[in-house]
Each structure stands twice: as structure tokens, then as C-alpha cells.
Amino acid sequence: MLASCPGSRTVKEICPEYILCPHCGVEVEVWSDEFRARCAQCHGWVYRQQGPTCLDWCAQAEHCVGTSTLAAYKRAREHTS
């Protein structure tokens, strides 16, 4: 039996992703457990693009990743949709 849902790995197993700031073009580090980061150059928000995950539909998502992580995920999805 799995200890946790394999679909939540993108949120739980953190690693950096480097995204160009859409405001000024500077490379910004956004970790996989974050959905956005502030650009050090222009201080604008940079959002990590992400396709649908089990967090979008699973009834156990809150239990799996936690209330605050799920809420942050939903806020980021609303902003990037």
C-alpha cells in the first residue's frame, strides 16, 4: 500500500524551477512546493505554470497535502487560469 498519493509528489517532493519573470525577464527561482515567487529585480509576482493535478479533483487532497498548501494551490490556480 502507498504511504501517500503519487499525484501529490509535485507538491511534496520539492525541487527548484527557474522561470523568466514576465515583467522584466530576470530568471526567478520558484520551488515546486511554491506556486509563486517575487522577482528580486522588479518585485512582481512570478507564477509557476502547472497542469491539472489530483489536487484539483481528489476528495482527499486536503488530508494529503494539508489545508494551507491546498489553499495556496487553489489561489495560484485561480490567478493562472
Segment 20-34, tens digit of pLDDT: 999 999 999 998 778
Residue 43 lies in a domain: yes
Across the chain, mean pLDDT equals 83
Confidence of residue 38 (pLDDT cuts 50, 70, 90): very high
Residue 2 lies in a domain: no
Q: What is the pLDDT of residue 80?
A: 59
Q: How many distinct structural domains can be found in the chain?
A: 1
Residue 50 lies in a domain: yes
Higher pLDDT, 18 or 12: 18
Are 17 and 50 in contact, with CB atoms under 8 Å apart?
A: no
Q: What are phi and psi of 56, to 5 degrees?
A: -75, -25
Percent above pLDDT 90 for the chain: 32
